[in-house]
Amino acid sequence: MLDTSVWGPRALAVLRVITALLFLEHATMKFFSFPVGMGMGDGPLPTLIVVAGAIEIIAGLLIITGLYARIAAFIASGEMAIAYFMAHAPSSFWPAVNHGESAILFCFIFLYIAAAGAGAWSADNVRAAAKAV
């Protein structure tokens, strides 16, 4: 049987990094049309999209590194809740129909990280260890 006291924080760190990388990809789609554009046409991005992209870049990088991960994950969770209710829920009650599954998953994974912390291999752990010395 696996020792959850050893493997739990490591699994949380892997979940944190992979989820944040996928989250960061949404920002690169908004700002750099990479790996594909969002189909928003030419011209300046709407203010709400710029704010969402900025949250995705800043929170994504903080969560990846595990620096201030709880705060960043809480903000990212809130962004995803707002995105779901503004962009997805109005078209249908059902997430499979309104294409809001990823927003819901991001919201609750980030909410879990905000509650549980960054797990192993995080800058927050390095900072805590340095304070303890």
pLDDT tens per residue, range 51-87: 999 999 999 999 999 999 999 999 999 999 999 999 9
- Predicted confidence band at 22 (pLDDT cuts at 50, 70, 90)? very high
- Mean pLDDT of the 79-96 span: 96
| Half-sphere exposure at residue 110, Cβ-oriented, CA atoms within 13 angstroms | 30
* Structure-token pair, residue 52: 């969402």
108 membership: H or E segment, kind and range: helix 101-116
- Predicted confidence band at 36 (pLDDT cuts at 50, 70, 90)? confident
How many other CB atoms are there within 10 angstroms of residue 120's CB atom?
17
> What is the predicted pLDDT for the residue at 57?
98
* Structure-token pair, residue 115: 């509650």
CA dihedral 114, 115, 117, 118 (to 10 degrees): -50
